[in-house]
Amino acid sequence: MTDFVVYDVFSEKPFGGNQLAVIPEASDLPEADLQRIAREFNFSETTFVYPPSDATSTARVRIFTPTMEVPFAGHPVIGTAVALAERGHGPDMVLDLGIGPLRCHAQDGAARFTTTAALEIICHPAPDLVAAALGIAPDRVQFESHAPVMASLGLAFTITQLDSRATLTALAPDVAAFRKGNAAYPSGLDFAQFAYVREGDTIHARMFAPLDNIPEDPATGSACATLGALLARIDGRDLSLTVHQGDDMGRPSVIGLETSGSAVTVSGQAVQTMRGRLTYPA
């Protein structure tokens, strides 16, 4: 039998943030069952931790959504780093991910990681199609800073600025429009939409990936990192941002972003809410 722990990530209190299942010792699990286990938890991500591939790393970590394995995601890195720190690792550690080694720091229920991956601008989806996917009128999309853009630091999201907090609250995603968008602009998370409103250094955001069995995500560290890199490029300066996500679905999350040149640091807290044991394989 294999132990698991569940964390609420990007929250200092239980029942906020984004849920994450962590399998701290996954070596005995059959490869064919990893996706099934992730689907059984049905959180936006589940991580499976393996011994490091070499002496320079702390652990090898694989990340699964309910439908696929992904090379990188923010809240799984934060939550897994906190879980490893609570098992005696760190505070400084290196996690081997699908995107390669990633340096992390975790201590006292908080973690941070820095990515130096190059910002990739994949395409500019049609604004009317993005608006339809979000369930809003096209004139609610803002263009002063940028048009809707599909971008990535390892995982692709369409990032769209909206005109007001009220518009963000009123979003009503249309799955049919997501299917059209995914057909027109294929990406790693099925036309995932990250919509935001900026108020100075404060960001309010929501993320939807219904085609990946994630109707709404309460905290999306990888999308926030991509947003930080994008805004730093647009503003032409380093930024310190605080992202509030999950408020409109009752799971408030707080994500810290710091940019320094091409590097983006994502930080947040994580609290353990459950622990248990997979009773299979028996």
Total domains, the chain = 2
CATH number at residue 147: 3.10.310.10
* pLDDT the model gives residue 110: 98
> Percentage of the chain with pLDDT > 90?
89
Q: What burial letters (b/e) apply to 262-274, b meaning 16+ CB within 10 Å?
A: eebbbbbbbbbbe
Tell me: pLDDT of 187 over 90.
no
Mean pLDDT of 73-90: 95
Average pLDDT, the chain: 95
Residue 188 — very low, low, confident or very high, per pLDDT cuts 50/70/90? Answer: low
Domain ranges, residue 51: 2-113+268-278
105 and 133 share a domain? no
- Return the minimum-mean-pLDDT range out of 63-72, 102-111, 186-195: 186-195
139 and 257 in a single domain? The answer is: yes
281: pLDDT confidence band, cut at 50, 70 and 90? Answer: low
pLDDT digits (tens, 9 = 90+) for 21-79: 999 999 999 999 999 999 999 999 999 999 998 889 999 999 999 999 998 889 999 99
Residues 158-182 have pLDDT tens digits of 999 999 999 999 999 999 999 999 9
Same domain for 68 and 103, yes or no, is yes
Q: How much of the chain exceeds pLDDT 70, in percent?
A: 99
**Together in a domain, 164 and 191:** yes
Same domain? For 105 and 27 the reply is yes
Looking at the fold, whether 108 and 225 belong to one and the same domain comes out as: no
Query: Do 90 and 154 lie in a common domain?
Result: no
Is the domain of 94 the same as that of 165?
no
Same domain, 128 and 96: no
Window from 32-41, 186-195, 219-228 with minimum mean pLDDT: 186-195
The pLDDT score that the predictor gives to residue 90 is 87
Please give the biggest Cα pair distance in the chain: 58
**Pair 68, 134 in one domain:** no
At 165 the pLDDT is 98
Are 172 and 46 contained in the same domain?
A: no
pTM: 0.92
**Which residues are catalytic, by number?**
45
Based on the fold, state whether residues 127 and 249 are members of the same structural domain: yes
